[in-house]
Structure 1
Amino acid sequence: MTTNTADTADIEAAVLALKEPSSLEIRPRYEGSNICTWIGFKHVNYLVEEAVLNHLRQAGIAPGTVYETYGLCTDIVDIDTRILHAFHIDDTAIAEVKPHRKAKDGELVLAVTLHVRRETLLKAVTSTVRVQLRLDPRGGGELPVPAALAPFAVDRLGAVPGWTPEPVEVDLAADDLVKELTAGRNAYAWKFRIPYWYCHFTERQQMSGYLRLMEEAKDRLVADRGVSIKTLLDEQNWIPVVPHSRITVLDEARMEEDLYVVLTVESVFKGFTYDSRMDTYVVRDGQLVQTATGRITHGYAVIENRRDWSLVSFDDRMNAALEGRSA
């Protein structure tokens, strides 16, 4: 297969087409209906991801094609999502994707809006998504990267341009490093071996893997403090809700590396919601390397019936757990 004018023209046209809005109707996956029929934040982000992939396909830059042809891996490296209305399992999301108004030249930053049909069409989700095309030398592409795609292509994933971590030398056992990462913080941490099913394009952890860890981090923290999700469900009919989440990839994390996940409770807002920060690290060549950071806002709702819920204020037990003290 050789480069020709038609190939170049097609890619140039596809990049121009990215500037046009796209739309998609999609249902949430059944897996995401964890409590009654409501869809959790992770699967809402999966809807956003599918809308972005559809936008690329409609433009003519399908992830499979650009990988097989040019060796470019399509990666979401930053996803910032606000949930305004809950999705239910039988809902249809009407997704609209367009370039973000603050995107600079050479950046692939998209604004995603999801609507849901109720009595009227409601804006349910807004999200900002940054995409990078990571050049994969494994196997090589059939063609060199076209000039039109070159501004989006990177040799290493990282959503923050120019970000370089301060090297931190470490010489600690895993348990000691977990203690070190939480020392003096209102935090919980654990070590996680990255499996292949958290990765894509052969070896790098993908955004959905970080979303899974963010969900697990909350579950682990509240269980550790005596207010597990099942405990509050059984005793108070409370469930967690998430109005906002964001994850930013800072560096790559690789299959079978040990990832250290730290969730830090940062603030409680008027006794109704609390903000946590998730940071992930690997130890590479004797140094601690941060691979991602993120934030998530949680509240609690009481289940009123199989369809409805309402936000509740934290009680003394929950406030004590979030502050890391005894009730």
Structure 2
Amino acid sequence: MSLKKSLDRLLHETTETEIAVRYEGSNICTWIGFKHVNYVVEEAVLRHFRRSGLAARELYERHALGVELVDLDTRIFTALHMDDEAHATVTAEGDAEGLRFTVRLAVDRDGKRTRAVTAKVKVLLRRDDDAGDAEPAEALEQWTVDALHAGHVLDLPEIDPAGDVLAQVVEGRNAFAWKWRIPYMYCHFTERVQMSGYLRQMEEVVDLFLADRGISIKTLLDDRSWIPVVPHSRVRLLEEALMEEELYTVYTVENVFKTATYTSRMDCFVIRDGAVVPVATGTIIHGYATIDSRRDWSLVDFDDRVLQALNGTARR
């Protein structure tokens, strides 16, 4: 099949497929965490490419093009559970800025198909640095880039790379910061951090933040059977972060809405050649639920202890 015909299928045909959620994502009872929900979304997009004749492996090995999810905006309406088969529907549109997809996930509940997730995904095709022997792909040139570059400026104070970077990014802010060496298993196409790596980063920085504020996930589980729940997350890649660089992640609480949810922002950057380079940003909304049984949970309001921790006013 020609690239032009495959592209036409990618842009104008709808893919419907069944995707099993990963057992690994069932961390508390049988509910699937937001990270693995996003993994299902990612897999749905990759299957859409594959069924259109533009499989990620073929694009890379033949045309030296890496499929890069650069924007993943996901809303969760119904929790996914262990052993669920998510019915995924993928539609696409192309524009000058990237290949854009809408992914809808549904699950069967009590004999009815129920809306579970809606996600918006943007994809770019990143040309490999060693592309000398690659077959041309003119039909895809509109969405092909030589490097990921969004030109985004992080909402952080001015940073002196020679000073204590972690202290600078949290001073006077309701924030937590973490420095971390990027391992190979968070990367793809040999050296670049991929979208799933930033999802893992977002999951871990939330865990570290809550522990730092004295309300770690296990603490609230032990005290009152509360668990964090995520109705919305978004991650955007801005530049390329590379294997074994040191990644700085800043987690900032932006808004606590009454006693129901709070919104936080994740900003990631590296220091390269003495300069701060923003590489990713994202937002995540959290609430809390109490475990009613091994199969059921219900949303709860924040109490004073949790509110003070989230607002940074708790006595330590």
Give SS of 2:147's match. coil
Give SS of 2:129's match. coil
Match for residue 44 of structure 2 among 47, 51, 68: 51
Q: How far off is 1:107 after superposition?
A: 2.5
Deviations 1:14-73 (A, max 9, x none): 000012110110111110000000000000000000000000000010000010011101
Equivalences for residues 206-285 of structure 1 within 5 A: 206-285=194-273
Equivalences for residues 136-175 of structure 1 within 5 A: 136-138=128-130, 140-144=132-136, 146-158=137-149, 160=150, 163=152, 170-173=160-163
Match for residue 125 of structure 1 among 117, 121, 140: 117
Partner residue of 2:81?
Answer: 88
What one-letter code is carried by the residue in structure 2 that aligns with 1:292?
A
Distance, in Å, in 2 between the alignment partners of 1:268 and 1:169 is: 27
Alignment CA distance shift 1:274-1:106 (3 Å): closer
Alignment CA distance shift 1:326-1:105 (3 Å): closer
Match for residue 97 of structure 1 among 90, 93, 104: 90
Question: Does residue 178 of structure 2 align to residue 178 of structure 1?
Answer: no
Distance, in Å, in 2 between the alignment partners of 1:105 and 1:208 is: 24
TM-score (norm 2): 0.95
TM-score (norm 1): 0.92
Distance, in Å, in 1 between the alignment partners of 2:84 and 2:132 is: 41
RMSD (Å) for aligned C-alpha atoms? 1.7
Distance, in Å, in 2 between the alignment partners of 1:74 and 1:98 is: 17
Deviations 1:155-180 (A, max 9, x none): 1114x4x54779x673425xx10000
Q: How far off is 1:140 after superposition?
A: 3.9
Segments ≥4 residues shifted beyond 2 Å? 103-107, 138-142, 162-166, 168-173
Partner residue of 1:65?
Answer: 58
Partner residue of 1:6?
Answer: none
What one-letter code is carried by the residue in structure 1 that aligns with 2:308?
A
Distance, in Å, in 2 between the alignment partners of 1:21 and 1:61 is: 14
Distance, in Å, in 2 between the alignment partners of 1:265 and 1:247 is: 16
Asked whether the equivalents of residues 256 and 262 of structure 2 are also in contact (C-alpha less than 8 Å), the reply is yes
What one-letter code is carried by the residue in structure 2 that aligns with 1:272?
A
Q: How far off is 1:137 after superposition?
A: 1.8
Alignment CA distance shift 1:259-1:128 (3 Å): same
Partner residue of 1:309?
Answer: 297
Partner residue of 1:134?
Answer: 126
Partner residue of 2:190?
Answer: 202
**Unpaired runs of 5+ in structure 2?**
none
Q: How far off is 1:141 after superposition?
A: 4.2
Distance, in Å, in 2 between the alignment partners of 1:64 and 1:149 is: 15
Give SS of 2:262's match. strand
Partner residue of 2:286?
Answer: 298
Question: Does residue 184 of structure 2 align to residue 191 of structure 1?
Answer: no
Partner residue of 1:23?
Answer: 16
Distance, in Å, in 1 between the alignment partners of 2:51 and 2:122 is: 18
Give SS of 1:149's match. helix
What one-letter code is carried by the residue in structure 1 that aligns with 2:32?
I
Distance, in Å, in 1 between the alignment partners of 2:207 and 2:138 is: 45
Same amino acid, percent of matched pairs: 54
**Unpaired runs of 5+ in structure 1?**
1-8
Equivalences for residues 2-21 of structure 1 within 5 A: 10-18=2-10, 19-21=12-14
